[in-house]
Structure 1
Amino acid sequence: MFPWLAFGHILPFLQLAKIMAKKGHKISFVSTPRNIDRLPQLPPSLITFVKLPLPPVDGLPTTAEATSDLEIHAVSYLKRAYDLLQQPLAGFLRSSRPDWILFDYVPFWLPGVARDLGIPTAYFSIFLAGALGFLGPPSVLIDGGDYRKKPEDFTVAPNWVDFPTTVAYTYYDIKNTFDCVEDDASGVNDLIRIGLSARNCDVVTVRSCSEFDSDWLRLLDNIYEKPVLPVGQLPPPPPAAEADPTAWGSIKEWLDEQGSGSVVYVAFGSEAKPSQDQLTELALGIENSGLPFFWVLRTRRGESDPDEIELPPGFEERTRGRGIVCTSWAPQLRILGHDSVGGFLTHSGWSSVVEALSLRRALILLTFYSDQGINARVLEERELGYCIPRDESDGSFTRDSVAESLRVVMVSEEGKIYRDRAKEMSGLFGDRGRQSRYVDNLLAHLLNNE
């Protein structure tokens, strides 16, 4: 397995690796030393971790090995360094001779390397089938034949989607993401990487399940013209004992004092960082909602980020007792699983969505960039998430819209649909046995096509 150097990619790859390993398969998990050292400790016999040092690149801090270590504009330098892993990875493949390689979209060059060695490849997309379907066929992504040239063109479903859907980018979401359709410092943009990975692999695997994504999976079968296999939603296992039980103990003690379903959990993943204006409106909206909250706040992106964001003056004093702001790591799965948590204000990253829905938590959505905008529209279309109202042109929002959105989803009769739908969907997303059978189907395909 060879994931891209972002923890939103590494962790789903690791979850799939653990499921496969428990079914009796030998997994070599390839990444850089620092990223591997930051992963949860596993029994040594389960997965072999292979460390490939990241080559130095001008513009990339020597301590940066993941996207969360960097400001957004510097991620393209990480891609350039990642592309330089081609030769050391080829050396490892030559010596280890794996039966299959599961790879991410960034190493678009990997199918060619593997083909020369006689090794089949599976492109494993952590992006939703809806996101891949919206982007389109490989020919569109690779050859620049996309009729969509302006951000406005991405605000409606593309012409190859053959079923009714409201899934499309909002203008502000695509504006935030539009740099991915232009060349970056790595020399190859993300759309070309996705297109080449999908075109040149032997099979495409997607984090999805047919009960949730049947139309989009069928579309991918048509536009990719090769097998497209869902691997399930990869719900997390029950949390193991924390390395620092004292930290969880203090969090649990506070949560135990709150009413059932009353707390809003707020977290935007390892990478999404609000602007200072957004943070101010968010904080004042959370304050004005009157609801108890637990907020995991990321104030910087990596050590080199000079723009540290700050809460409004007096916010923590005014909300003391009603809410907690945590600026370090927090055990998200344990928090979401606590009975006092009723809703999750999230960036719509799919791992967070899967965790929340598997635990019956209603979703309030605030997107920032990348596939988050499509994820949010997929959830909105199914009445599984409520998007905070924003200005269509620039994505700005107000403290009043934040406060009202939280109250709608958490306590109002209008928002009961979101609470009920989250409970309904937990039967699908949280069913580890059903989701594990998708991995069985994938393994059967790989075994029959070595």
Structure 2
Amino acid sequence: MADTTARKLHIVMFPWLAFGHMIPFLELAKLIAQKGHKISFISTPKNIERLPKLPPDLVTPDLISFIKVPLPLVENLPENAEATVDLPTDQGPYLKVAYDSLQETVARFLEESAPDWVFYDFAPYWLGPVAAKLNIPSVNYCVMAAYVLAFLGPMEDADRKGPEDWTVSPKWVPFPSPVAFRYYEFMKIIGSFRENESGVSDVDRFKLSIQGCDVLAVKSCYEFEPEWLKLLEDLHRKPVIPVGHLPPTPYENGGKDEAWTEMKEWLDKRKKGSVLFVGFGSEAKLSQDELTEIALGVELSGLPFFWVLRKQRVFSHSEMIELPDGFEERTKGGGVVWTRWAPQVKILSHDAVGGYLMHSGLGSVVEAVQFGKALILLTFYADQGLNARVLEEKKMGYAVPRNERDGRFTRDAVAESVRLVMVEEEGKVYRDKVKEMRGVFGDRDKQDRYVDNLLTRLQQIQKERKAKAALIENGDN
């Protein structure tokens, strides 16, 4: 347990401008603040306004303060775009250009506030060295699993030259592992491995962020991936601290309760475990063909469904994607397509929901497994393919079959996968396994112990740094 007599910490947090990153930073901030420590959470004004609302007793100068830093205007970046959700995929690098230009502002805040620690994301690869110059220890907090970072490998990696090299387990993984991209998954994110308009590739941002920090914190736990957490320490030779999976806690979102009331009334009329929840988050950019096959597959499954659908453009000049003609009319009564904000955690917690057709993003996986919902996996971007390999290996999810080269899938494959996992006897192994894993992902007491351990380790490291500095000073004298 954490030493409650130890001096309280002041921690600055600076996440990347994506809600899949900001929200895990906010969850960790909330848990740390509940133990009496101070958090300064830095982001842009629009993003701070859009974050889930925290309990009022935590939003105080002594606990959680939101530090609003305006995002500079950058050529080719739309004026009101402050997060990845605001942009088509091809404009993402310009958001990083604007983000990098916050370096001086963030450095000034660190110098003036003199925090005990700064927690930063993969994107501000420059922040570790900035903090070091100010004698502020830093934590690179990764919201992805340890196996993702370990798969990316050490700073120098001359062996992987072509796409096929990323479809096999790398040489530094000393145990049998399924963690690797499918060819189509890698080709979809190949731009992340190349220098972009910001001058730095996304993969180099990950590696430089780890290289520049004092401590690597990972949204993970020993019960889920102990061998990968150890491998990370071996690869990078610095402390690796899991912070738990951070199962989300309910937030009050003001006037949005009416939306949940409407959803709950519909769900309450369905049999326990009968409803398929469909949702691919705010970051997945589906093509028209993909949306069509998913919709017709869901229809073919014959199961009642609740689909939270964010209609968006894939690229800046493309047309808005649409559901197939007549889909909503044909499925009326048996299914709901919801295009507004939706309380995903509340939906997944409802007894009527039995399965979740999803993108394999780790945050959504945690949300589903804490309520024992069976997973049907359809990956689209980033680390989702690597997550899917692990979930398949552990029998926690079943991936929709796809063409290995181009990633195409059919409506029949969607329908058959959904029915397998939710209805058929053959899929009982997946339904049972997620129920078994509820304790790993959703145990609040276990999560609390991970936060206690994090704070204890940070306080210990801080004491060691001060003792070492005192020895050096005394030696000089």
TM-score by length of structure 1 reads 0.97
Give the aligned partner of residue 143 of structure 2. 126
Q: Confirm whether residue 150 of structure 1 aligns to residue 147 of structure 2.
A: no
Give the aligned partner of residue 376 of structure 2. 364
Cα distance per residue 1:27-62 (max 9 Å; x no partner): 000001100011122222241000011111100001
Give the aligned partner of residue 8 of structure 2. none
- Equivalent residues of 1:280, 1:312 under 8 A apart: yes
Give the aligned partner of residue 211 of structure 1. 223
Which 5+ residue runs of structure 2 have no aligned equivalent?
1-12, 463-477
CA deviation after TM superposition for structure 1 residue 306, in Å? 4.3
Give the aligned partner of residue 78 of structure 1. 95
3-state DSSP of counterpart to 2:227: helix
- Equivalent residues of 2:271, 2:352 under 8 A apart: yes
Equivalent residue for 1:299, pick from 287, 295, 311: 311
Q: Confirm whether residue 446 of structure 1 aligns to residue 458 of structure 2.
A: yes
- Equivalent residues of 2:131, 2:137 under 8 A apart: yes
3-state DSSP of counterpart to 1:41: coil
Amino acid of the structure 2 residue aligned with 1:47: I
CA deviation after TM superposition for structure 1 residue 302, in Å? 9.5
Give the aligned partner of residue 104 of structure 1. 121
- Equivalent residues of 1:273, 1:300 under 8 A apart: yes
The alignment-based identity, stated in percent, is 58
Give the aligned partner of residue 95 of structure 1. 112
Give the aligned partner of residue 393 of structure 1. 405
Equivalent residue for 1:268, pick from 251, 275, 280: 280
Which has the larger displacement, 38-47 or 92-101?
38-47
CA deviation after TM superposition for structure 1 residue 191, in Å? 1.3
CA deviation after TM superposition for structure 1 residue 194, in Å? 0.9
Count of aligned pairs between the two proteins: 445
Equivalent residue for 1:9, pick from 7, 10, 21: 21
Change (3 A) 1:328 1:119: same
Aligned partners of 2:168 and 2:436: how far apart in 1?
A: 29
Equivalent residue for 1:341, pick from 350, 353, 368: 353
CA deviation after TM superposition for structure 1 residue 285, in Å? 0.4
Amino acid of the structure 1 residue aligned with 2:73: P
CA deviation after TM superposition for structure 1 residue 241, in Å? 6.8
* Structure exhibiting the larger radius of gyration computed from Cα positions: 2
Matches within 5 A, 1:47-58: 47-58=64-75
Aligned partners of 1:10 and 1:302: how far apart in 2?
A: 22
Cα distance per residue 1:6-31 (max 9 Å; x no partner): 00000000000000000110000000
Amino acid of the structure 2 residue aligned with 1:373: G
- Equivalent residues of 1:71, 1:305 under 8 A apart: no
Cα distance per residue 1:309-368 (max 9 Å; x no partner): 000000000000000001111110110000000001111111100000001001000000
TM-score by length of structure 2 reads 0.91
Cα distance per residue 1:51-93 (max 9 Å; x no partner): 0111111000010000000011101000000000000111111
- Equivalent residues of 1:207, 1:230 under 8 A apart: yes
CA deviation after TM superposition for structure 1 residue 274, in Å? 1.1
Change (3 A) 1:94 1:206: same
Amino acid of the structure 2 residue aligned with 1:317: E
- Equivalent residues of 1:69, 1:303 under 8 A apart: no
Cα distance per residue 1:282-310 (max 9 Å; x no partner): 10000000000000111115996643100
3-state DSSP of counterpart to 1:448: helix
Give the aligned partner of residue 199 of structure 1. 211
Equivalent residue for 1:259, pick from 265, 271, 274: 271
Give the aligned partner of residue 49 of structure 2. 37
Amino acid of the structure 1 residue aligned with 2:46: R
RMSD, aligned α-carbons: 1.3
